Amino acid sequence: MTAAAAVTFALGSVLGLSQGFWAVIAALIVTQSSIGGSLKAALEQLIGSLCGAVYGAAIAYAIPHHTPVTLGLALVIAVGPLAVLATFSPGFRIAPITAIIVLLSTVGVTLGPVGFAVERVLEVALGCAVGLAVSVLIVPARAYGSVLRVAGQTATLLGEQLEALADIWNRSGFDISALPTEIRKTLGTLEMLSSEASRERRSRLADEPDPEPLSRTLARLHVDVSTLGRILTEPLSEEVHQRLAEPWSDVARAAARLLRHIGQALPARQPPTSLDPVVKAIAAYEAVVADVRRNGLTRGLPNDAVARVFALGFVLDQFRRNLEDLVSRTMEVQSSR
């Protein structure tokens, strides 16, 4: 940021911009933690400033604003539509700000609305160009590395959640409502970083695997684990509980070990461990469920309890397929090292 501000200020002075500080501000905003983030910020700043400057100049010409009343009316007409644009992305908040500056700035009196609007856009364009150049040329940070780091954190948290669910039937009154909160936060961060990494790929600034499938797979696994937690919150009959508790714990702990290993493998771009222990544990659980059904142990259970027993098997099947996908994505990351 320091380099971007210094270079922009120097260029603004050389070019003789009357309000070069706007270029410096734009450069600081555009200089993000990754190249993908800088691309997004530069595009939003440039489009927002252009829209605000053009629309603000048009309102300045169309509505005389020499009195407080007419000026207030012009401001409302200028800001209202642009505020709607800003709701689509926080980056476009620069549009109504630019329109206000065009209407209210005393510099605009000497330059005229059009001249001032043009200079304002040039200032922002200069700041965007310098900020983007600094992001690319000076210690460039790729968003994909951050994607792998946060994806690893998400996988580790999912493993911890499964570890907590492994013996949930033996922990009466255990509240799982707080378990997914941190996972949702990391998934939100992962989605944002994946968008930045995808933007780098489209701009040919990075040659990495598409991050979106990895993000989607972890989101599906989060849904699976949360669904398992909801199914397991209510205990079953003592006999069924004794038959299913240990096989379920084996499944949960095997999957938790796999997820924790992947949580370390992703940021290090290492190969994942084998999925076989999870597959074998799920097969053993399904065999016990089939035996319980053959022996008629579910006949005396309430309908909702019977539904939960078989819903658990269905979700585990989905969970296994999503784990297979995660293993494939981890291998893809490792092969691109």
Q: Report pLDDT digits (tens) over 193-225.
A: 888 777 767 666 556 778 889 999 999 999 999
* Mean pLDDT to the nearest integer, 259-277: 92
Same domain, 97 and 79: yes
For position 242, which CATH number holds? 1.20.58
* Mean pLDDT to the nearest integer, 300-329: 83
Same domain, 132 and 176: no
Same domain, 184 and 321: yes
Same domain, 203 and 97: no
- pLDDT above 90 (res 278): yes
* Mean pLDDT to the nearest integer, 86-105: 74
Same domain, 58 and 151: no
- The predicted-structure confidence for 25-76, as pLDDT tens digits, reads as follows 676 666 666 656 666 777 777 777 777 778 777 877 777 767 777 777 877 8
More confident of the two residues 172 and 238: 238
Q: Can you give the pLDDT at residue 107?
A: 46
Helix (H, G, I), strand (E, B) or coil at 294: helix
- pLDDT above 60 (res 267): yes
Q: Can you give the pLDDT at residue 328?
A: 92
- pLDDT above 60 (res 127): yes
Q: Can you give the pLDDT at residue 244?
A: 78
Domain finish residue from 137, 160, 186: 137
- pLDDT above 70 (res 148): yes
DSSP code of 92? G
Q: Averaging pLDDT over each range in 41-55, 151-165, 299-313, which range is the top one?
A: 151-165
Q: Can you give the pLDDT at residue 63?
A: 76
Q: How many folded domains does the chain comprise?
A: 2
CA distance 71 to 16: 30
CA distance 34 to 269: 19
CA distance 251 to 249: 5
CA distance 253 to 259: 10
Same domain, 33 and 123: yes
More confident of the two residues 152 and 289: 152
Same domain, 166 and 201: yes
Same domain, 162 and 220: yes
Task: State which residues form the domain around 265.
Answer: 143-335
User: What pTM value is reported for the model?
Assistant: 0.67
Same domain, 171 and 85: no
**Which amino acid does the sequence have at 114?**
V
Q: Averaging pLDDT over each range in 6-15, 95-104, 186-195, which range is the top one?
A: 186-195
> What CA dihedral angle connects 324, 326, 330 and 336, to 10 degrees?
100
* Mean pLDDT to the nearest integer, 131-145: 64
CA distance 182 to 173: 21
Answer whether 135's CB lies under 8 Å from 41's CB: no
Q: Can you give the pLDDT at residue 169?
A: 66
Domain finish residue from 87, 102, 137: 137
Q: Write the CA distances from 116 to 13, 93, 119, 124, 293, integer angstroms.
A: 17, 19, 5, 12, 79
